[in-house]
């Protein structure tokens, strides 16, 4: 079994992110999750998923904590990159218990680190196709969540980006907590 993976990169973290990614990591295809949607105009700053198998240049630089990559999220997966791309698109919008919709910035590891620190569980089936979610804690990467049921998908396949998953208030609060060094809260 191969150790395949993908890196989620927050395009808003670097000016001209797609150009930089394609020039710096030409062997790693970049797929903005908002392309071919009504939100395509902001696709360059939306989450970008890149193939980044273990041992690849991109994965190695992420492991080293390269400054431009240290807030990215690495996903260990056994599904194809196309399937993972489609799966992640279905998770960009989530619901609160009261039915409010939120955009989820999956590619920024800082809110996810806060959720891990608070020991918050993700909804069952959220991490479909992903066996492990890896984050940086400032020093080194670590496996934040292991998914024992990676074959379970709590969403239905659709081309539209629509909220299908309900997050409990504790997960929403951990993801939205404001960083003192940044303006505003982002999920």
The answer to the question of residue 37 being in a domain is yes
Prediction pTM value: 0.89
What total number of domains does the chain contain? 1
pLDDT at 184 over 60: no
The answer to the question of residue 26 being in a domain is yes
- pLDDT at res. 154: 93
> Listing from the earlier edge strand, what are the strands of the sheet with 4-10?
30-32, 47-51, 4-10, 73-77, 130-136, 141-146
- pLDDT at res. 137: 87
Q: Identify the domain containing residue 55 by its residue range.
A: 4-176
pLDDT in tens, 44-80: 887 999 999 999 999 999 999 999 998 999 999 989 9
As a whole number of angstroms, the distance between CA 58 and CA 81 comes to 15
List helix spans (H) across the chain: 17-24, 57-64, 81-89, 109-117, 169-176
Cα torsion through 99, 105, 110, 113, rounded to 10: 50
The answer to the question of residue 126 being in a domain is yes
Question: pLDDT band for position 179 (50/70/90)?
Answer: low
As a whole number of angstroms, the distance between CA 24 and CA 67 comes to 13
The answer to the question of residue 185 being in a domain is no
The answer to the question of residue 129 being in a domain is yes
pLDDT in tens, 23-42: 999 989 899 998 888 888 88
């Amino acid at each position: 079994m191969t150790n395949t993976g993908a890196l989620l990169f927050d395009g808003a973290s670097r000016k001209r992110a797609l150009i930089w990614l394609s020039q710096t990591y030409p062997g790693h295809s970049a797929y903005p999750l908002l392309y071919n949607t009504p939100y395509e105009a902001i696709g360059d700053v939306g989450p970008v998923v890149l193939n980044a198998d273990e041992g690849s240049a991109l994965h190695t630089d992420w492991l080293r904590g390269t400054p431009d990559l240290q807030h990215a999220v690495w996903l260990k997966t056994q599904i194809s990159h196309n399937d993972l791309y489609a799966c992640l698109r279905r998770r960009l919008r989530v619901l609160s218990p009261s039915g409010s919709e939120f955009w989820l910035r999956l590619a920024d590891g800082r809110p996810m680190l806060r959720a891990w620190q608070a020991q918050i569980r993700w909804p069952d089936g959220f991490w479909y196709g992903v066996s492990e979610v890896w984050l940086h804690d400032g020093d080194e990467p670590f496996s934040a969540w292991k998914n024992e049921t990676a074959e379970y998908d709590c969403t239905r396949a659709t081309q539209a980006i629509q909220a299908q998953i309900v997050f409990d208030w504790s997960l929403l609060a951990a993801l939205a907590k404001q960083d003192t060094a940044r303006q505003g809260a982002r999920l």
